[in-house]
Amino acid sequence: MRFALIGQPNCGKSTLFNSVAGYKAETGNFSGTTVTFTESRVRVQGQVVELVDLPGSYALDGLNPAESETLRYLDSREGDVIINVADASHLAQSLELTFELLPLNRPVILALNMVDEAMRLGLRIDGEGLSRELGIPVLPLVASKGRGVKEVFVRTVKIKDESGKMKDEERIQNSVRFAGIQKLTAQERHVRAREVAGRFVTRGEKRVTWHDRLDDVLLHPVWGYAILLLVLFGFFQAVYGMGKIVEPPVLAFFNTLTKGALRPFGEATFLSEIVLGVMQGIAAGVAIVLPYLLPFLFGLGLLEDIGYLPRVAFLMDAFMHRIGLHGKAIVPFILGYGCNVPAVMSTRSLEEPRDRYLAAALATLVPCAARLAVVFGLVAFYLGPLAALSLYMFNLLVIAVTGRVLSQMMPEDTPGLILEIPPYRVPTLKNVTSKAWFRVREFVIEAWPVLIAGSAVLAVLNYFDFAYIINWFVRPFTWLMGLPSEVGVPLIFGILRKELSLVMLGQALGTNNFSTVLSSSQMMIYATFVMFYLPCLATLSVLKRELGTRSMLAISALTVLVALLAALFMLGLTKVLL
pLDDT tens digits along 201-227: 988 766 666 777 788 788 787 888 899
Q: Is the separation of the CB atoms in 293 and 443 below 8 Å?
A: yes
pLDDT the model gives residue 10: 83
Instruction: Find all residues with CB under 8 Å of 99, minimum gap 6, and list them.
Output: 181, 184, 189, 192, 193
Model confidence at 133, in pLDDT bands (50, 70, 90)? very high
- 348-363: per-residue pLDDT in tens? 767 678 888 888 999 8
Cα separation, 572 vs 402, whole angstroms: 19
CA distances (Å), 50 to each of 5, 53, 54, 330, in order? 11, 10, 13, 33
CA distances (Å), 348 to each of 63, 123, 159, 328, in order? 11, 34, 34, 11
pLDDT surpasses 50 at 27: no
Cα separation, 253 vs 258, whole angstroms: 9
pLDDT the model gives residue 30: 37
Cα separation, 350 vs 380, whole angstroms: 35
492 φ, ψ (degrees, to nearest 5): -70, -45
| 51: three-class secondary structure by DSSP | strand
Q: Is the separation of the CB atoms in 375 and 502 below 8 Å?
A: no
Q: Which of 51, 28, 49, 27 is nearest to 38 (CA)?
A: 51
pLDDT the model gives residue 419: 54
E strand or H helix that includes residue 47: strand 47-53
CA distances (Å), 427 to each of 145, 397, 430, 439, in order? 10, 32, 9, 17
Strands 138-141 and 201-203: unpaired
pLDDT the model gives residue 176: 46
Q: Which of 92, 87, 84 is nearest to 108 (CA)?
A: 84
Q: Which of 219, 499, 547 is nearest to 369 (CA)?
A: 499
Model confidence at 418, in pLDDT bands (50, 70, 90)? very low
Average pLDDT over residues 17-34: 54
CA distances (Å), 15 to each of 98, 146, 416, 525, in order? 19, 9, 28, 41
pLDDT surpasses 80 at 96: yes
Average pLDDT over residues 119-124: 85
pLDDT the model gives residue 573: 92
pLDDT surpasses 50 at 25: no
Instruction: Please name the amino acid found at residue 315.
Output: L
The percent of residues above 70 in pLDDT, for the chain, comes to 85
E strand or H helix that includes residue 5: strand 2-7
Cα separation, 324 vs 578, whole angstroms: 35
Average pLDDT over residues 304-332: 72
CA distances (Å), 420 to each of 11, 36, 311, 356, 451, in order? 11, 21, 10, 21, 41
| 179: three-class secondary structure by DSSP | helix
Model confidence at 173, in pLDDT bands (50, 70, 90)? low
User: What is the edge-to-edge ordering of all strands in the sheet holding 2-7?
Assistant: 38-44, 47-53, 2-7, 81-87, 108-113, 138-141
pLDDT the model gives residue 417: 46
Q: Is the separation of the CB atoms in 277 and 507 below 8 Å?
A: yes
Where does 43-106 have alpha helices with state H?
A: 65-75, 91-101
pLDDT the model gives residue 29: 40
Identify the top-confidence range among 9-18, 63-72, 104-113, 348-357: 104-113
pLDDT surpasses 80 at 149: yes
Cα separation, 452 vs 284, whole angstroms: 9
More confident residue, 561 or 313: 561
DSSP state of 509: H
- 255-310: per-residue pLDDT in tens? 888 888 888 887 778 888 888 888 877 877 787 667 877 887 788 788 888 888 77
Average pLDDT over residues 422-426: 78
E strand or H helix that includes residue 341: helix 340-345
pLDDT surpasses 60 at 416: no
pLDDT the model gives residue 26: 44
CA distances (Å), 403 to each of 85, 326, 570, in order? 37, 12, 19
CA distances (Å), 568 to each of 410, 478, 494, 523, in order? 26, 11, 20, 13
pLDDT surpasses 90 at 111: yes
Q: Which of 362, 312, 311, 314 is nearest to 336 (CA)?
A: 362
Cα separation, 365 vs 398, whole angstroms: 9
pLDDT the model gives residue 327: 59
Q: Which of 504, 511, 541, 554 is nearest to 526 (CA)?
A: 504
Q: Is the separation of the CB atoms in 338 and 368 below 8 Å?
A: yes
pLDDT the model gives residue 513: 85
Where does 515-578 have alpha helices with state H?
A: 520-532, 537-547, 549-577
pLDDT the model gives residue 206: 64
CA distances (Å), 474 to each of 370, 465, 471, 483, 490, in order? 22, 16, 5, 11, 10
pLDDT the model gives residue 454: 74
Cα separation, 133 vs 125, whole angstroms: 13
The percent of residues above 90 in pLDDT, for the chain, comes to 22
pLDDT surpasses 60 at 83: yes
Model confidence at 442, in pLDDT bands (50, 70, 90)? low
For the chain, report the end-to-end CA distance as a whole number of angstroms. Answer: 65
pLDDT the model gives residue 178: 46
Model confidence at 134, in pLDDT bands (50, 70, 90)? very high
pLDDT the model gives residue 529: 95
Lowest mean pLDDT among 62-76, 174-188, 383-397: 174-188
More confident residue, 158 or 39: 158
